[in-house]
Structure 1
C-alpha cells in the first residue's frame, strides 16, 4: 500500500449527509464489503462488540416513521418542531441504506464498557474509510432517539444502539474541505 494514499484517504474522510444523496442505490455487494471491513477493527480480548442492523426498503421507511413519531410523542409542545419531525423522516427517506450501529456488551464484562464502545467506533471508522475510498456518502448520527431503538429493533441481552450510519451515493463532492487545528497544540513530547 502506498503510505501517501492512506494519509490522503484518512484526511479526506468527511460526513456526506442524506440531503446530498442521489437516487442510485448502494449495492448489497458494497454493504457486505463495508461490514467485513468493520469486522476487522481492533478489539480487546476479542469481544468483537460491534453489531449492525442493515435497514433498507420498507424497513427504512418504517424506521423513519418510528423515529419521527417517537420524537413527536416525547417532545413537549413548547419544544416541538414540525420541521425537525419532518427532517428526521426525510433523512431516512433520502438514504439508500441505514446501518444501525449497535454494541453488544460482553456479558462476562471482561473489559471495561468504554473499550467496547471504542472498538465499535473503530469498526465505524473502518466503514467510513471504506466509503471514502469508494466515493459512497455516509454520516454517523447519534440522536437522543437511539435510546428508544429497542422498541424498533430486537436486541440481545446487553445490546444497545450507538447511532445510525446513513449511506447513499452522491453526485458531486462540492466543497468537502475541512480543517484541523495543528497536532502540535494537542501533543506533549516527554523524553
Structure 2
C-alpha cells in the first residue's frame, strides 16, 4: 500500500550501505518512476546524470574532493575525506538536475517542485526495492558543470546516493501532528 511506503521511507546514508551492487536494470526502474512525476504544462524538467561504474564514481569522488579543497575558505582534511568517501561507499550516485523550460512558461519554483516530486518517486521505488537512498545538496553541486556537460538552463539540485543495506531502519516520527499544521476553512 502506497501510504505504508510513504511512512516507512527513510534516508539511508552511504556509510550504511553494504557492498552489494545495484544493477543497471534496477537503476532504470527507479529512473522510470521519476519520469511519471507531476509536471505543470508537461515541461518534464528533471534530468539525471548517473555515476554507476566504479570508475565514474571515483571520478566524481575525486572531482568533489578537489573542488571542495579549492572553494572552501578553511578546508578540513577530515571533511575532504568524507566528501570523497560518499560516492565510493555508494553503489550509484545520481546527480539530480533540472532543465529550465526555455520559454519560462511556468515559474522556476514549479520546475524545482516537479523535479523534487520525481525524486520522491525514485525514493519510494528504491525503498520498495530495499535500496537505501539519500538526497544531499552540498554547495559543490553548483560546480558539477565543470565535470559533466550541462545544457543551457540546466542546473544541479543535488546528489542522490544509493546503496543496498542490511540495517533495520528506525520508525519515523513527526514533531507535530497534521492537525497542528492544518486549518480548515
Q: TM-score range by the shorter chain?
A: over 0.9
Unaligned runs of 5+ in 1: none
Q: Aligned pairs, how many?
A: 183
| 1:171 equivalent in alignment to 2:166 | yes
**2:95 counterpart SS class:** strand
How does 1:46-57 map onto structure 2 within 5 Å?
Answer: 46-56=42-52, 57=54
Cα-Cα RMSD: 0.8
Counterpart among 24, 29, 53 of residue 28 in structure 1: 24
- Partners of 1:130 and 1:54 lie apart in 2 by 17
Deviation at 1:153, TM superposition (A): 1.2
TM-score by length of 2: 0.97
Deviation at 1:178, TM superposition (A): 2.2
* Structure-1-length-normalised TM-score: 0.94
Paired residue for 2:155, among 160, 165, 169?
A: 160
5+ residue gaps in structure 2? none
SS at match of 1:48: coil
1:105-116 superposed matches below 5 A: 105-116=100-111
Q: How far, CA to CA, are the matches of 1:7 and 1:54 in structure 2?
A: 28
In the TM superposition, 1:60-99 aligns within 5 A as: 60-76=57-73, 79-99=74-94
Q: Deviations over 1:93-142 (max 9, x none)?
A: 10000001000000010100000000000000000000111110000000
Asked if residue 103 in structure 1 is aligned to residue 103 in structure 2, the reply is no
**Aligned partners of 1:185 and 1:83: how far apart in 2?**
41
Runs of 4 or more above 6 Å deviation? none
